[in-house]
Structure 1
Amino acid sequence: MKILNFGSLNVDYVYTVDHMVQPGETLASQKMEVFPGGKGLNQSISLARAGAEVYHAGQVGEDGLFLKKLCEENGVDCTYLKEIPGKNGNAVIQVDQSGQNCILLYGGSNRTLTKEFIDEVIGHFDSGDLILLQNEVNLMDYIIERAYEQEMIIALNPSPYNEAMEACDLSKVTYFLMNEIEGGQITGKTQPEDILDVMLERYPDAKVVLTLGKDGVVYRDKEEQCTQGIFKVKAVDTTAAGDTFTGYFLSGVLGGDPVAEALCMASKASAIAVSRQGASPSIPWKKEVEETEL
């Protein structure tokens, strides 16, 4: 089985602040740093550092060529990563004293995909291969349709959840990896059990992973349910927590690990990531996760 991650690559401008800026407020930041990021890039690097073989498909602009180099340095196959003229996607990120963040996205090169490029990439993959998607690129509905026609297994992190996500046929998705907010937006429910009930009622063959912040994570499919608590660490920056979890979880289950074991490994990797600054630079390697006591 091959893993294709069709996703975003961003340049992250990270501002350290006392609190999130309020409407009408001018706020001085303590520092500004530039990091590689984007949910797609973060999840590809997480998959690769967890030991999976992953191909990244997407587009980088003229100011994002270093992102392609970073992927290659981390063992991500960039055969389907296209360089185009113009501005790369970027994000402006505020990180407060507790490590919480808020993010403003500019799509740039991530949102200029064409159907011809999508067809070309997906044509290189076979029935039973897995495609991982997030909602930071355009033509999401088309990518899902083409992957389904190719009989690929579809894993989706529905973030950010918006009208483009609502246009997608989610019945074609096998793995949903989402937090409580995204789960609530899809189902209209607020309680974790209610979210899971609705998800499995609508998509009975799906495998749903619902992250719950300080309350850990719960997995449910039509045959089993598993929960995993958090590993307590001092949070510095939560930016790549979910992406780290996604990569490690998928690497585990696709590698044959039981769900409970994959949840534990992914949660531990995510805890290590939030104890560090930055997005992709914070993602640990598998050996480190295995050897770290939390």
Structure 2
Amino acid sequence: MKVLNFGSLNIDYVYRVEEFVRAGETLTAKERRVFAGGKGLNQSLALARAGVTVFHAGAVGEADGGFLLGILDESQVDRRHVRTLKEVASGHAMITVNSRGENTIMLYGGANQSITGEHIQRVLADFSPGDFLLLQNEINHLDLLIRSGHERGLRIVLNPSPMTAALREAPLEKVDYLILNRVEAGDLCPGAAEENLLKALTERYPDTGLLLTLGEEGAYLHHRGKTRFQKAFPVKAVDTTGAGDTFTGYFVAGLVKGLDEGEALERAARAAAIAVTREGASASIPGIDEVLAFDF
């Protein structure tokens, strides 16, 4: 069983501020740091650090992509399906983190939005029914990826972020697992009260594994008529930027390793809790030995 993550590769510019800037306001940042990021890259690193072999597919710019390729190599992520493009810059994100560890993120797609249909079909041809296909919404042709992956019998896991109008019209019923937070769930189920989001999701996607993450309030997983709750582990958050990606990567890794859904959920929650105690996205993702040994 193989894991393909067809996802974004970004350079993250992280600014620390006391409070988020308001419209018309100018603030001075306390600090600026540069990290490798993108939901795709972060989730591949989480899979690798969880002890799973992962193949990453995507694109970077020739001028600035070497930094990102080096990170993949250091983490032993197979990047044979990553293309280097001459005519476009790598994707990047502008991230602000306030004094409470909360974040805002603005994305520039760059090479992530230059994926071609030919690239997709060439990559998917290397994978077989039962393999995992992990997706986010930071690259183009997501609709084609879902349809083509489903036709090939791949087990599709989608983190529907960032949420867009086009994503709401995508064939999400073909996805095996949706991993989403309350904002994304609300966007997919407009009008549903917050306390009824999981019920609304199950009515809309009855055959899909639905994993609703609620930050420090824990997470719910509904699949095949059964609902599980996983508490959040108590930690002091420093930076929540990479928590969701860490959670997603570790959950998928658990399934690949043969854990049942409850065990995979618990391991993902442990890993995400450790990640929020550190700065950065990819830099904050813990390794499997630390996750298993950490004493909360």
Q: Under a length normalisation based on structure 2, what TM-score does the superposition of the two structures give? A: 0.97
- Deviation, 1:194, is 2.1
Among 148, 151, 155, the alignment partner of 1:149 is 151
Structure 1 partner of 2:24: 24
Structure 1 partner of 2:283: 281
Tell me the secondary structure at the aligned position of residue 80 of structure 1. strand
Which amino acid in 2 is paired with 1:65?
G
Q: For residues 205-253 of structure 1, give each alpha carbon's deviation from its aligned partner in whole angstroms, at most 9, with x where no partner exists.
A: 2111100112100100123211111111111110000000000111112
Structure 1 partner of 2:34: 34
Aligned pairs (5 A) from 1:6-155: 6-61=6-61, 62-85=63-86, 86-155=88-157
Structure 2 partner of 1:158: 160
Distance 1:190 1:238 in 2: 26
Which amino acid in 2 is paired with 1:232?
P
Which amino acid in 2 is paired with 1:109?
A
Aligned residues: 294
Q: For residues 70-121 of structure 1, give each alpha carbon's deviation from its aligned partner in whole angstroms, at most 9, with x where no partner exists.
A: 1121121111011111211000000000000000100000001111111111
In structure 1, stretches of 5+ residues that fail to align are none
Aligned pairs (5 A) from 1:227-238: 227-238=229-240
CA 1:118–1:229 in 2, change beyond 3 Å: closer, same or farther? Answer: same
- Deviation, 1:189, is 4.7
Which amino acid in 2 is paired with 1:82?
R
Distance 1:191 1:222 in 2: 23
Which amino acid in 2 is paired with 1:40?
G
- Deviation, 1:191, is 4.3
CA 1:281–1:225 in 2, change beyond 3 Å: closer, same or farther? Answer: same
Distance 2:75 2:39 in 1: 16
Q: Under a length normalisation based on structure 1, what TM-score does the superposition of the two structures give? A: 0.97
Tell me the secondary structure at the aligned position of residue 272 of structure 1. helix
In structure 2, stretches of 5+ residues that fail to align are none
CA 1:285–1:189 in 2, change beyond 3 Å: closer, same or farther? Answer: farther
Distance 2:207 2:181 in 1: 19
Tell me the secondary structure at the aligned position of residue 183 of structure 1. helix
Q: Is the 8 A contact 2:192 2:200 kept in 1?
A: no
Structure 2 partner of 1:291: 293
Q: Is the 8 A contact 1:154 1:175 kept in 2?
A: yes
Is residue 256 from structure 1 mapped to residue 288 from structure 2 by the alignment? no
CA RMSD of aligned residues (A): 1.1
Structure 1 partner of 2:2: 2
Structure 2 partner of 1:209: 211
Q: For residues 51-76 of structure 1, give each alpha carbon's deviation from its aligned partner in whole angstroms, at most 9, with x where no partner exists.
A: 11110000011212211111121121
